[in-house]
């Protein structure tokens, strides 16, 4: 595995890989890798000829009061972990390489409307504009044929899919199921900010999703009933400050009153300063 920090050098490697007849698979990440990221990389490795993981903490997608400055960064740790997956290149550009005008400054943005205003978009204004813009840049830089995204960030998957469809981008999006700790907590680079008590409290997210799944499996289709059951559990956890619980269409992210087919059950809560998200993709029968 090679670590590449310059766009021009990456382009050269992509030209060579294409000349050898390879498809290009890309796994965008912000680093501080965990088993969730590594699962995406292994999947890409097993399906594509030339695999690039990108590692870039994108200033554009963080709000002014968010954790950009303290977001965990450790290139030597990340490169050792990424190497174990057999990917070809870890692309780890500087902020100036990605935004030559300075700290996330650009005059051009990709703005996916409407679906970015629900769920996480409501409490993180500008976040998905930053995500869509940097992912577009990364698709252009890497010339991705296929890009792998975790279902953990379900809204991100919906936004990127919509962007790719609306702008006729030549990339296939592959969603990968959520990877969890053995007790159910979804893996996240932000979990390391949690105190032991907050880590324990964070399990309430998975518990409330499990409650939702049990209700759905028992035939419940009224979103209000499922919402109340989840909300009750979260309210019983004093260290959890609920941001949202949403039961929505998997593509449009519009709220569903009744669940008749597929549905996304998603939630976000703060544990101290750390905001965690989790979700359940219900495949309607
Ligand atoms: P991040 O570094 O947090 O931006 O995540 C990079 C990619 O890894 C995104 O596509 C995430 O959805 C995905 N990812 C993060 N955590 C998990 C997880 N627990 N399971 C599956 N994918 C994940």
DSSP letters spanning the chain: -EEE--HHHHHHHHHHHHHTT--EEEEEE-SS--HHHHHHHHHHHHH-SEEEEEE---GGGS-TTSSTTTS---HHHHHHHHHTTT-SEEE---HHHH-TTSTT--S------STTTSHHHHHSTTHHHHHHHHHHHHHHHHT-SEEEEEGGGHHHHHHHHHHHHHTT-S-EEEEEPPPB-TTSPBP-GGGGGS-HHHHHHTHHHHHHHHHHHHHHHTT--BHHHHHHHHHHHHHT-TTEEEEEEEEE-TTT--B-SB--S-EEEEEEEEETTEEEEEEEEE---
Pocket test for ligand 1, best of 29, 75, 181 (most atoms within 8 A of CB): 29
| Ligand 1 atom, smallest distance to 30 CA | 2
Given the residues 37, 152, 161, 199, the one annotated as active site: 37
CA distances from 193 to 84, 129, 197 (A): 25, 25, 11
What are residue 143's phi and psi, to 5 degrees? 55, 40
Q: pLDDT under 50 in the chain at which residues?
A: none
% of the chain with per-residue pLDDT over 90: 98
Pocket of ligand 1 from Cβ distances under 6 Å: 29-30, 36-37, 40, 149-150, 152-153, 176, 178-179, 186-189
Decide if 10 contacts 142 (C-beta within 8 A): yes
Q: Which of 114, 131, 155 is nearest to 243 (CA)?
A: 155
Cα(42) to ligand 1 centroid in Å equals 13
Cα(175) to ligand 1 centroid in Å equals 10
For residue 126, is it left (φ>0), alpha (ψ between -120 and 50) or beta? left
CA distances from 224 to 165, 256, 263, 266, 269 (A): 32, 9, 14, 14, 19
Cα(199) to ligand 1 centroid in Å equals 18
Tokens 């766009």 belong to which residue? 7
pLDDT given for residue 102 in this prediction: 84
Pocket test for ligand 1, best of 28, 33, 36 (most atoms within 8 A of CB): 36
Q: How many residues does this entry show for the chain? A: 285
pLDDT given for residue 68 in this prediction: 95
| Ligand 1 atom, smallest distance to 177 CA | 21
pLDDT given for residue 269 in this prediction: 98
Cα(153) to ligand 1 centroid in Å equals 7
pTM, two decimal places: 0.98
| Ligand 1 atom, smallest distance to 148 CA | 10
pLDDT given for residue 103 in this prediction: 80
pLDDT given for residue 104 in this prediction: 84
pLDDT given for residue 172 in this prediction: 98
CA distances from 197 to 201, 232, 239, 244, 267 (A): 6, 20, 8, 21, 20
Active site residue 37: yes
Residue nearest to atom 7 of ligand 1 (CA): 29
Cα(33) to ligand 1 centroid in Å equals 9
């Amino acid at each position: 595995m090679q670590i590449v920090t310059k766009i021009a050098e990456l382009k050269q490697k992509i030209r060579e890989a294409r000349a050898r007849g390879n498809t290009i698979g890309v796994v965008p990440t912000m680093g501080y890798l965990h088993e969730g990221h590594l699962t995406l990389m292994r999947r890409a490795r097993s399906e594509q000829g030339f695999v690039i993981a990108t590692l870039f903490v994108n200033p554009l997608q963080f709000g002014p009061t968010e954790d950009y400055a303290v977001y965990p960064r450790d290139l030597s740790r990340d490169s050792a972990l990424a190497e174990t997956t057999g990917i070809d290149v870890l692309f780890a550009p500087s902020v100036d390489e990605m935004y030559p005008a300075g700290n996330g400054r650009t005059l051009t943005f990709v703005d996916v409307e409407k679906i970015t205003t629900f769920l996480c978009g409501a409490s993180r204004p500008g976040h998905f504009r930053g995500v869509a813009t940097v992912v577009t840049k990364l698709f252009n830089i890497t010339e991705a044929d296929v890009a792998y995204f975790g279902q953990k960030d379900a809204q991100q998957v919906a936004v990127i899919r919509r962007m790719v469809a609306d702008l006729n981008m030549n990339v296939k999006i592959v969603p990968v199921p959520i990877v969890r700790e053995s007790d159910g907590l979804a893996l996240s680079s932000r979990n390391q900010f949690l105190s032991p008590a907050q880590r324990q409290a964070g399990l309430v997210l998975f518990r409330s999703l499990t409650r939702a799944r049990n209700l759905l499996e028992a035939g419940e289709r009224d979103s209000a009933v499922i919402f109340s059951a989840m909300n009750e559990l979260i309210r019983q956890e004093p260290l959890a400050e609920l941001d949202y619980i949403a039961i929505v269409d998997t593509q449009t992210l519009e709220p569903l009153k009744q669940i008749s087919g597929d549905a996304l059950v998603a939630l976000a809560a703060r544990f101290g300063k750390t905001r965690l998200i989790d979700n359940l993709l219900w495949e309607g029968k």
